[in-house]
Chain A
């Protein structure tokens, strides 16, 4: 089984709808991240969480919210989806050993289309 899973893998929705993307991990990591990928722009950080009570905005958080329901679960919500939120969304997790790089492990991605 995959260590980092994302549901759904593909979603088509309409403008104005609320949608939630879910991420689960079995790696026991404290840190979780949500990235968005747009063609020609690479991946950009939306939100990150260092533990259940520590949630932080990333580079492009406007229009998004997150919920860290448990150590293993980190959900991304679009309260009112708009077409320019059409993108590929990645969840990632990492450990938190101080002073060293903690590698990020990526989920398979969720392709979201907003019509």
Chain B
């Protein structure tokens, strides 16, 4: 069965610190997608990144970077030089193409960045 685990329930950092949010997934499928979403206090879901299972290249977008490692079934998210505006709940999610494109979400990590 597919599953996404975000073991960190809550993380607190001080502004300008780097922070890594962990995501570990389980799937029997060889073809799948992984995602990160941000949910700010306003409640909407903001799409951050999608990565398919055949692309293990790490990605960097400004202060955000993602480390995908199939060997450890992990898709970790790092924020460099965190800012107060990064405070949010972050969700990792998995989708298996053959399983009707349903998204399986982790339980989320609440990040608080203090000034």
Contacts and interface: CB of A to CB of B under 8 A. Distances in A.
A40 to B, nearest CB: 6
Interface string A90-104: 101010000111111
B9 A31 contact: no
A43 B91 contact: yes
Given A41-B107, A42-B91, A48 B102 contact: yes
B101 A31 contact: yes
A100 B97 contact: yes
Interface of B: 4, 9, 33, 43-45, 47, 50, 52, 91, 93, 95, 97, 100-103, 105-108
Interface of A: 31, 33, 40-45, 48, 50, 58, 88, 90, 92, 94, 99-104, 106, 108-109, 111
Contact of A101 (B45, B101, B105): B101
7 contacts: A42-B107, A42-B108, A50-B100, A90-B45, A103-B47, A103-B50, A106-B44
Given A100-B97, A101-B52, A103-B50, A43 B43 contact: no
Given A101-B95, A103-B50, A109 B101 contact: no
B107 A101 contact: no
A106 B45 CA distance: 7
Nearest to B108: A42
Given A99-B97, A101-B33, A42 B43 contact: no
A102 B103 contact: no
B89 to A, nearest CB: 9
Contacts of A31: 101
